[in-house]
């Protein structure tokens, strides 16, 4: 019996920013709430240039350029070079967490190899478990950033491809911040390849804004009602799940949007709300829930544009809220049509305005909550994470456009759905769906769902 190939670590080093920093980064309620969650783990799969005569020379050159451009990028994103620090006193009682960039060892950079092909990753119906090994910080929670790097890059060489996996501490930033970092790294790498960036720090088009936003009268050090991290840190272990990528073409999503708006007699329901309503209905049906069992659809919403005045997209940190966009009994959800579910989602999103954001912050300050996956999400929810608006396929590292986006073990549970832009663009969306094996098997037979699922219009292989 042939053994399954395993990731082999070739080398490991730490990358410091081009110029040392003694910055202290204070954490907001949105940041602190993430202490017990996992790191963000997203990565890009690239095809090696062909023909490739000198394999070793290609990888050595790529790794050197990745390390140098990362060092330049960290100058703009200095909190990623730091470590978490807890400051506490007994008299008077005080407990606070912040980021210290002084005398830090920097970000971890790993070179690894794996004896499989791109096809071994993309051809199976399910995402193969080996993909989790393409990321550092497996099962690590953000609080571990006290002793572990806040950013770790793992570059894994495959037989015919390269996977660049990035693990970023979720206390430091959300998805918007994560992809701003990744996009900037790619920009600096390309400028370096064109001879426009050497040891000087290049100018970037969307520099991150590091001044953290605090509610009036709050911060910069927030006194938490704890004496020890064991009071608010837990380590969630997901049950055995199937992970599968479903592709929805722009045409398929346009049909869903038209159907949802027609059934609700409106024009206000968005494409993503229509797709989310479909996913919520079909997963609920696949779960075979009792008629009166309650189910919910949750969104990870970006607060930046909902605030008055709005925070810039370049704001580096967390500015997200888990919104319970729709709740219903299984019977209500399945007896009504797609438009009914989509309208519930639309109303909740539309009502998540500045007043709602400030109210949620007020409640948090009165009773600080550290999100814990095993306790925070109800067992029959569908959680829509990430965003198809993030620029994932615009990142290039000398190997052309990525052929796929994949994620690690982090923050996955039964009912977690992660959205990515489709590789062909034009409004297409890929959904990474995580479900219990039996539920996934039933979903794959769901006619309403599978009619909307489209074969990709392009063949990345």
User: Domain coordinates of the chain in residue numbers?
Assistant: 8-231, 242-452
d(CA 411, CA 243): 13
Beta bridge partners of 157: 113, 162
Q: What is the pLDDT along the chain (461 residues), one digit of tens a residue?
A: 457 789 999 999 999 987 666 788 999 999 999 999 999 999 999 999 987 777 889 999 999 999 999 999 999 999 999 999 999 998 899 999 999 988 788 999 999 999 999 999 999 999 999 999 999 999 999 999 999 999 999 999 999 999 999 999 999 999 999 999 999 999 999 998 877 655 666 788 889 999 999 999 897 999 999 999 999 999 989 899 999 999 999 999 999 999 999 999 999 999 999 999 999 999 999 999 999 999 999 999 999 999 999 999 999 999 999 999 889 999 999 999 999 999 999 999 999 999 999 999 999 999 999 998 877 778 899 999 999 999 999 999 999 999 999 999 999 999 999 999 999 998 999 999 999 999 999 999 999 999 999 754 444 45
Per CATH, is 242-452 categorized as 3.30.559.10?
yes
How far apart are the C-alpha atoms of 316 and 213, rounded to whole Å? 10
pLDDT of residue 203: 80
Residue 253 backbone dihedrals phi, psi, to 5 degrees: -70, -35
pTM of the model: 0.94
Residue 443: name the closest of 414, 412, 400 by CA: 414
Fold match between domain 8-231 and domain 242-452: yes
Q: What is the CATH number of domain 8-231?
A: 3.30.559.10
- pLDDT at residue number 300: 94
d(CA 171, CA 96): 13
Q: How far apart are CA 354 and CA 434, in angstroms?
A: 32
CA dihedral (368, 350, 375, 429) positive or negative: negative
Q: Residue 205's pLDDT is what?
A: 84
What Cα–Cα distance (Å) separates residue 131 from each residue in 33, 42, 136, 321? 28, 11, 11, 28
E strands present in 259-367 = 294-302, 320-329
Which burial class, exposed, middle or buried, applies to 232 when counting CB atoms under 10 A from its CB (0-12, 13-18, 19+)?
A: buried
* Radius of gyration from C-alpha coordinates of the chain: 22
Query: 372 exposed, middle or buried (CB, 10 Å; 0-12, 13-18, 19+)?
Result: middle
CA atoms of 316 and 152, how far apart (whole Å): 18
Q: Give residue 257's pLDDT.
A: 98
- Tokens representing residue 460 in the block: 């990345």
Helix 271-286 × helix 338-350 angle, to 10°: 120
Q: Put residue 258 in one of left, alpha, beta given phi > 0 → left and psi -120 to 50 → alpha.
A: alpha
Could you count the other beta carbons within 10 Å of the beta carbon of residue 15? 23
Decide: helix, strand or coil at residue 95. strand
User: Distance between CA atoms of 2 and 344, rounded to whole angstroms?
Assistant: 51
């Amino acid at each position: 019996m042939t053994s399954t190939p395993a990731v082999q670590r070739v080398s490991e080093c730490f990358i410091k920013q081009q110029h040392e920093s003694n910055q202290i980064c204070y954490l907001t309620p949105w940041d602190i709430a993430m202490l017990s969650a996992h790191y963000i783990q997203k990565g890009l799969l690239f095809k090696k240039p062909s023909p490739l005569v000198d394999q070793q020379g290609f990888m050595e050159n790529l790794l050197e350029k990745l390390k140098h451009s990362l060092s330049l990028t960290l100058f703009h994103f200095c909190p990623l070079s730091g470590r978490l620090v807890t400051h506490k006193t007994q008299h008077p009682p005080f407990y606070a967490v912040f980021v210290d960039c002084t005398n830090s060892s920097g970000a971890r950079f790993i070179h690894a190899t794996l004896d499989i092909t791109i096809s071994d990753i993309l051809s199976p119906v399910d995402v193969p478990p080996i993909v989790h090994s393409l990321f550092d910080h497996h099962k690590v929670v953000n609080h571990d950033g006290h002793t572990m790097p806040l950013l770790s890059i793992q570059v894994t060489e495959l037989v015919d491809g390269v996977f660049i996996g990035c693990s970023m501490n979720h206390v430091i930033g959300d998805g918007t911040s994560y992809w701003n970092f990744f996009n900037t790294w790619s920009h600096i790498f390309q400028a370096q390849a064109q001879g426009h960036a050497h040891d000087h720090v290049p100018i970037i088009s969307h520099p991150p804004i590091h001044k953290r936003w605090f509610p009036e009268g709050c911060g910069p050090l927030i006194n938490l009602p704890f004496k020890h991290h064991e009071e608010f840190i837990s380590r969630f272990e997901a049950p055995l799940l199937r992970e599968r990528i479903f592709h929805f073409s722009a045409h398929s999503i346009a049909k869903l949007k038209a159907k949802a708006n027609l059934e609700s007699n409106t024009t206000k329901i968005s494409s993503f709300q229509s797709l989310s309503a479909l996913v919520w209905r079909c997963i609920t049906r696949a779960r075979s829930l009792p008629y009166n069992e309650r189910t919910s659809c949750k969104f990870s919403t970006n607060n930046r544009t909902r605030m008055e005045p709005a925070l810039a997209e370049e704001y580096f940190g967390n500015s997200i809220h888990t919104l319970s966009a729709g709740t219903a009994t299984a019977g209500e959800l399945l007896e009504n049509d797609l438009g009914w579910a989509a309208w519930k989602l639309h109303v909740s999103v539309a009502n998540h305005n500045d007043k709602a954001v400030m109210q949620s912050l007020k409640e948090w300050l009165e009773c600080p909550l550290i999100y814990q996956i095993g306790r925070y999400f109800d067992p029959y929810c569908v959680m829509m994470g990430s965003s198809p608006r993030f620029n994932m396929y615009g990142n290039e590292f000398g190997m052309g456009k990525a052929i796929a986006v994949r994620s690690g073990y982090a923050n996955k549970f039964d009912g977690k759905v992660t959205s990515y832009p489709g590789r062909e663009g034009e409004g297409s969306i890929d959904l990474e769906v995580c479900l219990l094996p039996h539920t996934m098997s039933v979903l794959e037979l769901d006619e309403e769902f599978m009619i909307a699922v489209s074969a990709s219009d392009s063949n990345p292989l």
